[in-house]
Structure 1
Amino acid sequence: MPTHAERRPLPFAPDILFDLVADVERYPEFLPWCVATRVRRKTEDGFEADMTIGFKVFRESFTSRVKLN
């Protein structure tokens, strides 16, 4: 399965960024082209979620395993 990770300094408190990234169900409110999200199941250290991205006639859906640590 493909993975992606990045590290870079940001001018925000870590707990605020953590809460923002962890709140997948609210992504459609503030992420451009994020049409829908759904948490499939919660795990001990995170969750599994579906996301649909759309732009004009294009749509793509995928599932992510998210680890919160």
Structure 2
Amino acid sequence: MKTNGNDKALEAYKIFPFVAWGLTIGFAFFVYNIATELQAVADNLEEQANQLQIKVNTPVEQIEDFESY
């Protein structure tokens, strides 16, 4: 099998630690952003569910405008 003459391992390059740490920190930041956005969406859905539950539990006698419900 013919090789291209570049048989060095990735770890042998001087820039490898910087690239590896950059990717690790970038991935951690990416996961953090996804987690915080997911938390915001979950909070929004919880608030909407609570509002719908209040509307569902409203007695019929207290409903004045059926269009708003």
Normalised to the residue count of structure 2, the TM-score between the two structures is 0.26
Larger Rg: 2
Larger strand proportion of the pair: 1
Bigger relative CO (Cα 8 Å, ≥ 6 apart):
1
TM-score (norm 1): 0.26
